[in-house]
Protein backbone atom coordinates (compact mmCIF):
# COMPACT_ATOMS: atom_id res chain seq x y z
CA UNK A 1 0.00 0.00 0.00
CA UNK A 2 1.20 3.46 -0.87
CA UNK A 3 0.49 6.85 0.64
CA UNK A 4 1.64 10.40 0.32
CA UNK A 5 3.41 12.12 3.11
CA UNK A 6 1.78 14.51 5.35
CA UNK A 7 -3.03 10.33 8.04
CA UNK A 8 -7.95 10.72 10.65
CA UNK A 9 -8.45 10.62 14.23
CA UNK A 10 -5.34 12.49 15.43
CA UNK A 11 -3.70 15.78 14.62
CA UNK A 12 -0.49 16.93 16.33
CA UNK A 13 0.20 20.44 17.54
CA UNK A 14 2.08 22.67 15.06
CA UNK A 15 5.42 22.30 16.84
CA UNK A 16 4.98 18.53 16.97
CA UNK A 17 4.05 18.46 13.27
CA UNK A 18 7.22 20.33 12.41
CA UNK A 19 9.33 17.87 14.39
CA UNK A 20 7.69 14.87 12.74
CA UNK A 21 7.97 16.35 9.25
CA UNK A 22 11.75 16.67 9.38
CA UNK A 23 12.24 13.16 10.74
CA UNK A 24 13.03 10.85 7.85
CA UNK A 25 14.14 7.85 9.87
CA UNK A 26 12.89 5.48 12.55
CA UNK A 27 9.90 7.43 13.95
CA UNK A 28 8.42 7.96 10.51
CA UNK A 29 8.92 4.32 9.62
CA UNK A 30 7.31 3.16 12.88
CA UNK A 31 4.29 5.40 12.34
CA UNK A 32 3.85 4.06 8.85
CA UNK A 33 4.16 0.45 9.96
CA UNK A 34 1.66 1.05 12.77
CA UNK A 35 -1.04 2.13 10.37
CA UNK A 36 -0.34 -0.67 7.88
CA UNK A 37 1.44 1.09 5.05
CA UNK A 38 4.41 -0.13 3.06
CA UNK A 39 5.56 2.88 1.03
CA UNK A 40 5.46 6.62 1.71
CA UNK A 41 5.77 9.36 -0.92
CA UNK A 42 7.78 12.25 0.51
CA UNK A 43 7.33 15.89 -0.47
CA UNK A 44 7.95 19.39 0.82
CA UNK A 45 4.90 20.54 2.76
CA UNK A 46 3.39 23.98 3.34
CA UNK A 47 4.48 26.72 2.82
CA UNK A 48 6.58 25.34 -0.05
CA UNK A 49 8.61 27.72 -2.18
CA UNK A 50 5.94 29.34 -4.33
CA UNK A 51 5.96 32.68 -2.49
CA UNK A 52 9.72 33.16 -2.38
CA UNK A 53 11.79 35.37 -4.62
CA UNK A 54 12.86 33.59 -7.80
CA UNK A 55 16.52 33.05 -6.87
CA UNK A 56 15.64 31.76 -3.40
CA UNK A 57 12.96 29.43 -4.76
CA UNK A 58 15.33 27.99 -7.36
CA UNK A 59 18.08 27.43 -4.81
CA UNK A 60 15.72 25.74 -2.39
CA UNK A 61 14.15 23.49 -5.00
CA UNK A 62 17.59 22.12 -5.86
CA UNK A 63 18.67 21.41 -2.30
CA UNK A 64 15.28 19.97 -1.37
CA UNK A 65 15.23 17.59 -4.31
CA UNK A 66 18.80 16.49 -3.68
CA UNK A 67 17.86 15.64 -0.08
CA UNK A 68 14.72 13.86 -1.29
CA UNK A 69 16.72 11.77 -3.74
CA UNK A 70 19.29 10.81 -1.10
CA UNK A 71 16.52 9.76 1.31
CA UNK A 72 14.81 7.60 -1.31
CA UNK A 73 18.10 6.04 -2.38
CA UNK A 74 18.78 5.02 1.22
CA UNK A 75 15.41 3.20 1.55
CA UNK A 76 13.96 2.63 -1.94
CA UNK A 77 11.74 -0.13 -0.56
CA UNK A 78 9.99 2.30 1.82
CA UNK A 79 10.22 5.79 0.30
CA UNK A 80 9.30 7.46 -2.98
CA UNK A 81 9.13 11.20 -3.66
CA UNK A 82 7.49 14.17 -5.35
CA UNK A 83 9.91 16.88 -6.47
CA UNK A 84 9.69 20.48 -5.28
CA UNK A 85 9.34 23.03 -8.10
CA UNK A 86 10.28 26.72 -7.98
CA UNK A 87 7.07 27.99 -9.59
CA UNK A 88 8.13 31.68 -9.24
CA UNK A 89 10.48 30.79 -12.14
CA UNK A 90 8.44 28.41 -14.34
CA UNK A 91 11.26 27.76 -16.82
CA UNK A 92 13.62 26.77 -13.99
CA UNK A 93 10.85 24.67 -12.46
CA UNK A 94 10.37 22.80 -15.75
CA UNK A 95 14.11 22.20 -16.01
CA UNK A 96 14.16 20.92 -12.43
CA UNK A 97 11.27 18.54 -13.14
CA UNK A 98 13.25 17.14 -16.05
CA UNK A 99 16.39 16.85 -13.90
CA UNK A 100 14.45 15.25 -11.10
CA UNK A 101 12.68 12.64 -13.17
CA UNK A 102 15.62 11.69 -15.39
CA UNK A 103 18.47 11.97 -12.86
CA UNK A 104 17.14 11.91 -9.28
CA UNK A 105 14.16 9.58 -9.54
CA UNK A 106 11.06 11.31 -8.04
CA UNK A 107 7.68 10.15 -9.32
CA UNK A 108 6.47 13.57 -10.44
CA UNK A 109 6.19 16.77 -8.43
CA UNK A 110 4.04 18.55 -5.87
CA UNK A 111 2.75 22.01 -6.76
CA UNK A 112 0.57 24.52 -4.94
CA UNK A 113 -2.56 26.13 -6.36
CA UNK A 114 -1.21 29.66 -6.57
CA UNK A 115 2.14 31.42 -6.82
CA UNK A 116 1.53 34.78 -5.22
CA UNK A 117 -1.22 36.42 -7.30
CA UNK A 118 -1.04 33.91 -10.17
CA UNK A 119 -3.28 30.86 -10.24
CA UNK A 120 -1.84 27.64 -11.59
CA UNK A 121 -3.73 27.95 -14.89
CA UNK A 122 -1.87 31.19 -15.70
CA UNK A 123 -0.06 30.97 -19.09
CA UNK A 124 3.26 31.58 -17.32
CA UNK A 125 3.14 28.01 -15.97
CA UNK A 126 2.80 26.30 -19.34
CA UNK A 127 6.48 25.18 -19.36
CA UNK A 128 5.77 23.09 -16.24
CA UNK A 129 2.73 21.41 -17.79
CA UNK A 130 4.59 20.86 -21.04
CA UNK A 131 7.46 19.15 -19.23
CA UNK A 132 5.12 17.08 -17.04
CA UNK A 133 3.17 15.83 -20.04
CA UNK A 134 6.32 15.02 -22.03
CA UNK A 135 7.76 13.10 -19.07
CA UNK A 136 4.37 11.56 -18.20
CA UNK A 137 5.15 12.69 -14.67
CA UNK A 138 2.11 13.39 -12.44
CA UNK A 139 1.67 16.65 -10.56
CA UNK A 140 0.19 16.52 -7.07
CA UNK A 141 -1.99 19.58 -6.43
CA UNK A 142 -1.53 20.61 -2.79
CA UNK A 143 -4.00 22.83 -0.88
CA UNK A 144 -3.05 26.21 0.48
CA UNK A 145 -4.78 28.94 2.42
CA UNK A 146 -7.21 31.13 0.44
CA UNK A 147 -6.00 34.64 -0.45
CA UNK A 148 -6.18 37.16 2.44
CA UNK A 149 -9.06 39.06 0.86
CA UNK A 150 -11.06 35.85 0.49
CA UNK A 151 -10.35 34.87 4.09
CA UNK A 152 -11.50 38.30 5.24
CA UNK A 153 -14.72 38.15 3.21
CA UNK A 154 -15.79 34.55 3.86
CA UNK A 155 -13.95 33.10 6.84
CA UNK A 156 -13.71 36.01 9.29
CA UNK A 157 -15.73 37.08 12.32
CA UNK A 158 -16.23 33.82 14.22
CA UNK A 159 -13.33 34.23 16.62
CA UNK A 160 -9.65 33.70 15.91
CA UNK A 161 -9.60 29.92 16.43
CA UNK A 162 -12.81 29.30 14.49
CA UNK A 163 -11.75 31.68 11.71
CA UNK A 164 -8.45 29.84 11.27
CA UNK A 165 -10.06 26.38 11.29
CA UNK A 166 -12.82 27.46 8.88
CA UNK A 167 -10.34 29.03 6.44
CA UNK A 168 -7.92 26.10 6.44
CA UNK A 169 -8.58 22.46 7.26
CA UNK A 170 -12.31 22.95 7.92
CA UNK A 171 -13.20 24.11 4.42
CA UNK A 172 -11.01 26.90 3.03
CA UNK A 173 -8.10 24.78 1.89
CA UNK A 174 -10.33 22.32 0.10
CA UNK A 175 -12.73 24.77 -1.47
CA UNK A 176 -9.78 26.82 -2.73
CA UNK A 177 -8.10 23.73 -4.18
CA UNK A 178 -11.32 22.63 -5.84
CA UNK A 179 -11.69 26.03 -7.47
CA UNK A 180 -8.11 25.86 -8.72
CA UNK A 181 -8.65 22.34 -10.09
CA UNK A 182 -11.70 23.57 -11.98
CA UNK A 183 -9.70 26.52 -13.31
CA UNK A 184 -7.19 24.07 -14.81
CA UNK A 185 -10.04 22.29 -16.58
CA UNK A 186 -12.08 25.31 -17.64
CA UNK A 187 -9.07 27.30 -18.87
CA UNK A 188 -8.22 24.47 -21.27
CA UNK A 189 -5.01 23.26 -19.64
CA UNK A 190 -5.98 19.60 -20.12
CA UNK A 191 -7.13 20.26 -23.68
CA UNK A 192 -3.77 21.83 -24.44
CA UNK A 193 -1.90 19.03 -22.62
CA UNK A 194 -4.21 16.00 -22.91
CA UNK A 195 -1.64 13.62 -21.46
CA UNK A 196 -1.15 15.66 -18.28
CA UNK A 197 -1.95 13.75 -15.08
CA UNK A 198 -2.86 15.53 -11.85
CA UNK A 199 -3.38 14.02 -8.39
CA UNK A 200 -5.68 15.73 -5.88
CA UNK A 201 -6.34 14.80 -2.27
CA UNK A 202 -9.37 14.82 0.03
CA UNK A 203 -11.55 12.91 -2.46
CA UNK A 204 -11.30 15.60 -5.13
CA UNK A 205 -11.22 18.75 -2.97
CA UNK A 206 -15.04 19.21 -2.80
CA UNK A 207 -15.54 19.21 -6.58
CA UNK A 208 -16.44 15.55 -6.99
CA UNK A 209 -19.58 15.84 -4.87
CA UNK A 210 -21.03 18.69 -6.92
CA UNK A 211 -19.94 17.45 -10.32
CA UNK A 212 -23.41 17.09 -11.82
CA UNK A 213 -24.13 20.78 -11.20
CA UNK A 214 -20.70 21.93 -12.37
CA UNK A 215 -21.23 19.97 -15.61
CA UNK A 216 -23.32 22.92 -16.81
CA UNK A 217 -20.18 25.09 -17.12
CA UNK A 218 -18.22 23.31 -19.93
CA UNK A 219 -20.80 24.20 -22.58
CA UNK A 220 -20.19 27.89 -21.85
CA UNK A 221 -16.41 27.42 -21.57
CA UNK A 222 -16.36 25.50 -24.90
CA UNK A 223 -14.28 22.58 -23.65
CA UNK A 224 -13.37 19.58 -25.75
CA UNK A 225 -14.96 17.07 -23.35
CA UNK A 226 -17.62 16.80 -20.64
CA UNK A 227 -16.29 17.72 -17.22
CA UNK A 228 -16.49 14.17 -15.88
CA UNK A 229 -14.26 13.01 -18.73
CA UNK A 230 -11.37 15.08 -17.40
CA UNK A 231 -11.73 13.36 -14.02
CA UNK A 232 -11.67 9.95 -15.69
CA UNK A 233 -8.76 10.71 -18.01
CA UNK A 234 -6.52 13.34 -16.35
CA UNK A 235 -7.21 13.35 -12.60
CA UNK A 236 -6.42 10.87 -9.83
CA UNK A 237 -7.95 11.03 -6.35
CA UNK A 238 -6.63 10.18 -2.91
CA UNK A 239 -8.48 10.27 0.43
CA UNK A 240 -5.67 12.08 2.26
CA UNK A 241 -6.53 10.22 5.44
CA UNK A 242 -10.28 10.90 5.17
CA UNK A 243 -11.22 7.25 5.53
CA UNK A 244 -14.91 7.42 4.72
CA UNK A 245 -16.73 4.50 3.15
CA UNK A 246 -19.37 6.88 1.78
CA UNK A 247 -16.79 9.04 0.04
CA UNK A 248 -15.05 5.99 -1.35
CA UNK A 249 -18.30 4.63 -2.82
CA UNK A 250 -19.14 7.98 -4.39
CA UNK A 251 -15.66 8.43 -5.84
CA UNK A 252 -15.64 4.90 -7.26
CA UNK A 253 -19.05 5.51 -8.86
CA UNK A 254 -18.09 8.86 -10.38
CA UNK A 255 -14.52 8.28 -11.60
CA UNK A 256 -13.93 4.53 -11.20
CA UNK A 257 -11.63 2.57 -8.91
CA UNK A 258 -8.74 2.87 -11.36
CA UNK A 259 -8.51 6.60 -10.58
CA UNK A 260 -8.27 6.28 -6.78
CA UNK A 261 -5.07 5.74 -4.80
CA UNK A 262 -4.97 5.04 -1.08
CA UNK A 263 -3.23 7.88 0.74
CA UNK A 264 -2.83 9.28 4.22
CA UNK A 265 -1.71 12.71 5.41
CA UNK A 266 1.16 12.09 7.81
CA UNK A 267 1.83 13.65 10.21
CA UNK A 268 -1.16 15.99 10.23
CA UNK A 269 -3.66 13.18 10.57
CA UNK A 270 -3.00 9.68 11.73
CA UNK A 271 -5.18 6.59 11.60
CA UNK A 272 -5.32 4.24 14.59
CA UNK A 273 -3.04 1.23 14.64
CA UNK A 274 -3.67 -0.79 11.49
CA UNK A 275 -6.40 1.66 10.48
CA UNK A 276 -5.28 2.41 6.94
CA UNK A 277 -5.00 -1.22 5.93
CA UNK A 278 -8.22 -2.06 7.77
CA UNK A 279 -10.12 0.70 5.93
CA UNK A 280 -9.19 -0.81 2.59
CA UNK A 281 -9.82 -4.38 3.70
CA UNK A 282 -13.30 -3.56 5.04
CA UNK A 283 -14.35 -1.32 2.15
CA UNK A 284 -17.19 -2.45 -0.12
CA UNK A 285 -14.92 -3.26 -3.02
CA UNK A 286 -14.08 -6.21 -5.19
CA UNK A 287 -10.70 -7.77 -4.56
CA UNK A 288 -9.52 -6.45 -7.90
CA UNK A 289 -10.52 -2.88 -6.99
CA UNK A 290 -8.95 -3.27 -3.56
CA UNK A 291 -5.63 -4.11 -5.21
CA UNK A 292 -5.98 -1.25 -7.68
CA UNK A 293 -6.58 1.34 -4.97
CA UNK A 294 -4.03 -0.16 -2.57
CA UNK A 295 -1.05 -0.12 -4.92
CA UNK A 296 -1.68 -1.07 -8.56
CA UNK A 297 -2.93 2.34 -9.70
CA UNK A 298 0.11 4.06 -8.22
CA UNK A 299 2.47 1.48 -9.70
CA UNK A 300 0.88 1.84 -13.14
CA UNK A 301 1.10 5.63 -13.01
CA UNK A 302 4.79 5.50 -12.04
CA UNK A 303 5.58 2.83 -14.66
CA UNK A 304 4.50 5.26 -17.38
CA UNK A 305 6.99 7.98 -16.38
CA UNK A 306 9.60 8.56 -19.07
CA UNK A 307 12.91 8.49 -17.27
Q: What are phi and psi of 265, to 5 degrees?
A: -145, 50
Alpha-carbon separation of residue 256 from 40, 290, 292 (angstroms): 23, 12, 10
CA–CA gap between residue 286 and residue 290 (Å, rounded): 6
Q: Which one of the listed residues 89, 121, 176, 265 is annotated catalytic?
A: 265
Q: How far is CA 24 from CA 4, 5, 138, 150, 172, in A?
A: 14, 11, 23, 35, 29
Name every residue whose Cβ is closer than 8 Å to that of residue 157 and which is 6 or more positions away in sequence: 163
Residue 240 neighbours by CB under 8 Å, 6+ apart: 4, 201, 202, 203, 263, 264, 265, 269
- 265 is an active site residue: yes
CA distances from residue 8 to 105, 163, 200, 275, 289 in whole angstroms, order as listed: 30, 21, 17, 9, 22
Q: Which residues are CB-neighbours of 242 under 8 A, at least 6 positions away?
A: 8, 202, 203
Catalytic positions, written as ranges: 265
Amino acid sequence: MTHTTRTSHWCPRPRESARLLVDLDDERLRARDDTGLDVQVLSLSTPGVQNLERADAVALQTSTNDLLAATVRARPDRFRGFATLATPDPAAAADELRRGVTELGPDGALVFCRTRERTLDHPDFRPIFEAAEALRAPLYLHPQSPPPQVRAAYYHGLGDAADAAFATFGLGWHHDSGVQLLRLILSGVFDRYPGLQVIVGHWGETVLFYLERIEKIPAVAKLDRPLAAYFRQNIHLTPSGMFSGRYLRWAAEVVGADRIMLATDYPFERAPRGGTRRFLQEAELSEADRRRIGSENWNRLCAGIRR
